[in-house]
Amino acid sequence: MRLTRCWAALAAAIILNLLVFFYVSWLQHQPRNSRARGPRRTSAIGPRVTVLIREFEAFDNAVPELVDSFLQQDPAQPVVVAADTLPYPPLALPRIPNVRLALLQPAL
């Protein structure tokens, strides 16, 4: 059986796809800390993304833990928790300037 150029190109493409697949699979199984991460570039202007937390149950939520997890990644990360009314029981948010609670329907 003779190997044509079409069959050779098809076999090469399949082998290349398999190599890429195995490499990506190997990268995903590496622990996060062992992957080489480039230096983080922060702009002189400040952070470029604000985290907005909008939908949560007022009585049963994990908003303070979620805010803490974002702040562990970047302590200067702005976080805004938006609620229609003041949640009860009150949220135990960190008292730092970049974490705010915004009420969407303020009352006097």
Q: pLDDT digit string (tens) for 4-19?
A: 999 999 999 999 999 9
- What pLDDT is attached to residue 5? 92
Beta bridge partners, 82, equal: 102
Two structure tokens written together for 85: 């009314």
Question: With a cut of 50, which residues of the chain have pLDDT below it?
Answer: none
Contact yes or no for 101/83 (Cβ under 8 A): yes
**Domain segments of the chain as ranges:** 1-30, 49-107
Q: What pTM value is reported for the model?
A: 0.54
- What pLDDT is attached to residue 41? 55
- What pLDDT is attached to residue 18? 97
